[in-house]
Amino acid sequence: MNTENAVRVRFAPSPTGYLHVGGLRTALYNYLFARKNNGVFVLRIEDTDRTRYVEGAVENLIQTLRWAGLEFDEGPEKGGPKGPYIQSDRIALYQEHARRLLEEGKAYYAFDTPEELDEMRKLQEKTQAPLKYDRRALMLSAQEVQQKLAAGVPAVVRLRVPDATTVAFDDLIRGRVEFSSDQIDDQVLLKSDGYPTYHLANVVDDHLMGITHVIRGEEWLSSTPKHVLLYQYFGWEVPQFAHLPLLLNPDKSKLSKRQGDVAVEDYRSKGYLREAIINFVAFLGWNPGDEREMFTLEDLVKEFSLERVGKSGAIFNVEKLDWLNFQHLRRKPDTEVLAMLREHLKQSSLANRNFDDAYLLSVIGAMGERVTFVRDFVEKSGYFFQAPNRYDPDVLKKRWKPDTPQKLRRLIEEFSLLENPQREDYESALLRVARSLELKNSELIHPLRLAVSGVGAGPGLYDILFILGKEETHRRVVSAIERLSQLT
């Protein structure tokens, strides 16, 4: 491991769209490892595959990382001593290193057309031969190679893998990993357009940027022997590797967009809190070794270690994410929830309605134990924001009787006598009316709740009445009597 400086790690996404939750986990683990070890967290954009480049993706990646609280120390926009941090600005570096490998016989030119490569693969499949490049280009003489290059025949540069060799490395999560060189393909390092493949660019950059630990997904494990060979060919120190477990759907299939949302942006737009997403993603492979489940980013920095990252696939369970969102929302100060609720109202059909802070804080207090998302304040208790325009038919059928209007008229008469009523005043008034009419309390409570909210469940009825106030309660009961009398 490079001991010249502090721990240096990197997150190196490709700008192909939104940030995948798997990418967020990789970024998070790198960030946590850097912070825990007083190291440096580098953001590098790997954009050498121009066919997959998406306009605006770099800006979105950076914005999403910052939204999640994962601020990088070096990278695009911020700069740093090891830049540039966008690979398309480093092409000359990769070409120079490819030439060095060619000169030393550790790589070679290949001139095969896509059609020839396709024909080669089909033959290998038919004969059940190993699916890798058959090295036909090595049969060309040095003179033939130079003639083709001089004639402008499109050429790639391939890694020359040594024969009958074992390539081994120690993985911080998986232990000792060994590959026979017979299983390793002569990977393309430099494409015919002069752009490097991931394999060359990432090794060159990791070395030149002083990366000490390469923390990335398990899907790169099979490529690592090629990278180890490149480090050896260049005479460079090999960094420590840590390959994170795959993310799986509940049915154990690999997490993919075909089975649901995989972009962080999808979950953010649905109203998930950054704290919940970070907490959830941290547990996709790591655990603290005890029963604790609630962690802030600061908590994770203190607790995280690669030793507690497992090898087996991590199940992506949205129900657990929902539970964490509920818990983190409950932990937030009411003033912070108020700001988020106001922002939600501003984006909703209620944007033109004015609610003062005291009113909204009362709603937050009443609904705090019943909401998973900020949007639930409106979706689950819309009656706090506008009078009901429909009434739950099942509740109506069960709770609204022919004599209910008469009972409710008597109740709102009693309410009208109250001055500046508190919760307990509404309760006392209802009990008095129930006694005078010789009714069970429930014979007033249930239809009254239906009249003021349109539904049959929610926070305490007297909390609802107190929040709505005497005048609004009166209006809603009168309106319900008129409308429901016509329906029934």
* pLDDT the model gives residue 466: 98
Which entry of 257, 270, 302, 398 is annotated as an active-site residue? Answer: 257
Residue 74 gets which letter from DSSP? B
- Partners of 178 in beta bridges: 168
* pLDDT the model gives residue 191: 96
Note the pTM of the prediction, 2 decimals. 0.92
Distance, CA of 90 to CA of 82 (rounded, Å): 11
What does the block give as tokens for 383? 């009656």
State the pairing for strand pair 247-248/314-315.
parallel
- Partners of 179 in beta bridges: 167
Residue pair 190/95 in contact by the 8 Å Cβ criterion: yes
8: enclosing H helix or E strand: strand 8-11
pLDDT band at 134 (very low <50, low <70, confident <90, very high): very high
- ∠308-254-303 over CA atoms, to 5°? 20
* pLDDT the model gives residue 251: 87
Q: Is 25 exposed, middle or buried (0-12, 13-18, 19+ CB in 10 A)?
A: buried
pLDDT band at 3 (very low <50, low <70, confident <90, very high): very low
| pLDDT (mean) for 474-479 | 98
Active site residue 257: yes
pLDDT in tens, 382-434: 999 999 999 999 999 999 999 999 999 999 999 999 999 999 999 999 999 99
**Size (the chain), residues:** 488
How many angstroms separate the Cα of 239 from the Cα of each of 9, 210, 322?
A: 10, 9, 38
Distance, CA of 224 to CA of 177 (rounded, Å): 10
pLDDT in tens, 40-68: 999 999 998 878 888 999 999 999 999 99
* pLDDT the model gives residue 53: 84
What does the block give as tokens for 484? 């429901």
Q: Among 11, 13, 15, which Cα is nearest to 59's?
A: 15
The region that residue 56 occupies, defined by phi over 0 for left and psi between -120 and 50 for alpha, beta otherwise, is left
260: enclosing H helix or E strand: none
Distance, CA of 116 to CA of 124 (rounded, Å): 12
* pLDDT the model gives residue 259: 53
- Partners of 314 in beta bridges: 247
Q: Helix, strand or coil for residue 112?
A: coil
264: enclosing H helix or E strand: helix 264-269
- Does the pLDDT at position 129 exceed 70? yes
